[in-house]
Amino acid sequence: MTAEIVSVGTELLLGQIVDTHAPTMARILADCGIGCRRRQTVGDNLDRLVEALDVALARADLVVTIGGLGPTQDDLTREGIAAALGEDLALDPDYEKTLREIFALRRFTWVESNIRQAMRPPSGRFLENPNGTAPGLLCEKGGKIVIALPGPRNEFNPMAEGVVREYLERVQGGKVIHSRTLRVCGLGESLVEEKVRHLMQGDNPSVAPYAHPAEVHLRLTASAGSVAEAEKLLDPMEAQIRQLLGNAIYGINDQTLESAVIDQLREANQSISLAESLTGGWLGMRLTSVPGASDVFRGGVISYTSDAKKELLGVSEETLRQFGPVSEVCAREMAIGCRERLDATIGVSLTGNAGPTSDTDGKPVGLVFLGIAQPNQVQVWDYRFRGSREDIRQRSTQIALVKLRECLLEVDPTS
């Protein structure tokens, strides 16, 4: 079975709102093993809506519309579906009664335009909307299915996840599409693809790479009769990829790099503290986004000034004068300083020039030093990042986590 989603609303075409419903619907379709090949978005315009529905019904078995079911004049989805199915809208007297009762119960003022919400194509039936007055629609005709859902989030979500998911599972009778994501850091997208290319020819399970800032995600997808069967198809594929990429895979599905690092620290009985200059607290914010970070995170210093570097981290006057705050020596002393003063086993420092304007003390925009102080060694790396101030700060934060992870892979947890 194939599906197509049609989102309806002029505000979508003006970019005034982001369409989060279509992805929700797409995930439900995927979970039910229904292939969604296309999405369309049209405004509150009857001709273009009917055209979109005609095209969608010609090439898909199931069409799901989102939005345009309210009582106002620009809510045209009911009319559009009726036209696409070659029918005329008719009043459903039972639902008119229900609707009038809802209005009376809530002491809302009844205006005549509300009657539109009780109209439906004769071949269809209403889907109950527990959080609103506009019901959904389900039409089965000529081997095609049309489902219409309302746009407000508190109405759409319960209906999509409830009555629609149940209906689709029943129609599909058992077939699922199930995905697993392997998250990779420290290797570029093209290099990752080169290593796994021979596995990307397969159809079931399939493998596809997606690039993220300083990360690559490999999505493995299998179609099967049940989630358990799909998992069985994915397991050997994951094992093969792990052989090819090894430690570069840091996590699975929704696991973030920061949570992987927190886990590593916990397992290795290590603790961490930070000294952040150009990132201003971003690395701390990422680490503390992980519930339970307090098991291993001792705190940090946002050492934005030379005084803060001296007073709170013990960076020497001499170092600042001779090498400046953006230097390997300063990064080294910052890492040692925060490790000692916050009583952690590992200290991490970031200092650099995030821009946007110009060189500072002869240090170009994008030059960043990362320091990691461990019990037996202190390492410092330097980078030249490009892009905006935000990009440079984001990449600095990301590379700190990547390098921290590499260092922790070398720590013997039994020592």
From the list 161-169, 226-234, 275-283, 327-335, the region that binds a second copy by CB under 8 A is: 275-283
Helix or strand run (H / E) with residue 193 = helix 189-196
In the set 145, 146, 287, 380, which binds a second copy (CB under 8 A)?
A: 287
Write down the least CB distance from residue 237 to a second copy, Å. Answer: 17
Residues 265 and 64: their CA atoms lie apart, in Å, by: 46
From the list 84-92, 93-101, 372-380, 382-390, the region that binds a second copy by CB under 8 A is: 382-390
Write down the least CB distance from residue 120 to a second copy, Å. Answer: 19
Write down the least CB distance from residue 122 to a second copy, Å. Answer: 25
**Nearest one of 155, 170, 179 to 31, comparing CA atoms:** 179
Write down the least CB distance from residue 229 to a second copy, Å. Answer: 19
Q: Which amino acid is at 141?
A: K
246, 198 contact by CB (below 8 A): no
Write down the least CB distance from residue 92 to a second copy, Å. Answer: 18
Q: Looking at the DSSP assignment, which residues form a beta bridge with residue 152?
A: none
From the list 82-90, 166-174, 229-237, 286-294, the region that binds a second copy by CB under 8 A is: 286-294
**Nearest one of 322, 378, 325, 311 to 347, comparing CA atoms:** 378
The answer to whether 343 contacts a second copy (rule: CB under 8 A) is yes
The answer to whether 266 contacts a second copy (rule: CB under 8 A) is no
Write down the least CB distance from residue 412 to a second copy, Å. Answer: 26
Between 123 and 256, CB nearer to a second copy:
256
The answer to whether 2 contacts a second copy (rule: CB under 8 A) is no
344-363 residues near a second copy, rule: CB under 8 A: 355-357
Write down the least CB distance from residue 230 to a second copy, Å. Answer: 14
Write down the least CB distance from residue 393 to a second copy, Å. Answer: 7
From the list 67-75, 88-96, 166-174, 233-241, the region that binds a second copy by CB under 8 A is: 67-75
167-226 residues near a second copy, rule: CB under 8 A: 179, 188-191, 193-194, 197, 200, 208-213, 219
330, 303 contact by CB (below 8 A): no
The answer to whether 401 contacts a second copy (rule: CB under 8 A) is no
10, 43 contact by CB (below 8 A): yes
**Nearest one of 66, 70, 77, 75 to 19, comparing CA atoms:** 66
The 10 Å Cβ neighbour count of residue 110 is 12
In the set 289, 359, 375, 409, which binds a second copy (CB under 8 A)?
A: 289
The answer to whether 164 contacts a second copy (rule: CB under 8 A) is no
326, 367 contact by CB (below 8 A): yes
**Which residue is listed with tokens 């527990």?**
130
Between 101 and 311, CB nearer to a second copy:
311
265, 272 contact by CB (below 8 A): yes
Q: How many residues bind a second copy (CB under 8 A)?
A: 107
The answer to whether 314 contacts a second copy (rule: CB under 8 A) is no
Residues 302 and 366: their CA atoms lie apart, in Å, by: 19
**Pairing of the two strands 35-42 and 2-8:** parallel
The answer to whether 261 contacts a second copy (rule: CB under 8 A) is no
The answer to whether 152 contacts a second copy (rule: CB under 8 A) is yes
* Size of the chain in residues: 415
Residues 123 and 106: their CA atoms lie apart, in Å, by: 31
The tokens describing 409, both together, are: 């892979």
From the list 13-21, 88-96, 327-335, 367-375, the region that binds a second copy by CB under 8 A is: 13-21
Between 57 and 278, CB nearer to a second copy:
278
45-64 residues near a second copy, rule: CB under 8 A: 45, 48, 52
The tokens describing 76, both together, are: 């045209």
Residues 68 and 80: their CA atoms lie apart, in Å, by: 10
Q: Looking at the DSSP assignment, which residues form a beta bridge with residue 140?
A: 145
3-state helix, strand, coil in the chain (%, to 5): 45, 25, 30
The answer to whether 252 contacts a second copy (rule: CB under 8 A) is no
The answer to whether 295 contacts a second copy (rule: CB under 8 A) is no
Write down the least CB distance from residue 307 to a second copy, Å. Answer: 6
Residue 361: φ, ψ to 5°? 50, 40
Between 141 and 381, CB nearer to a second copy:
381
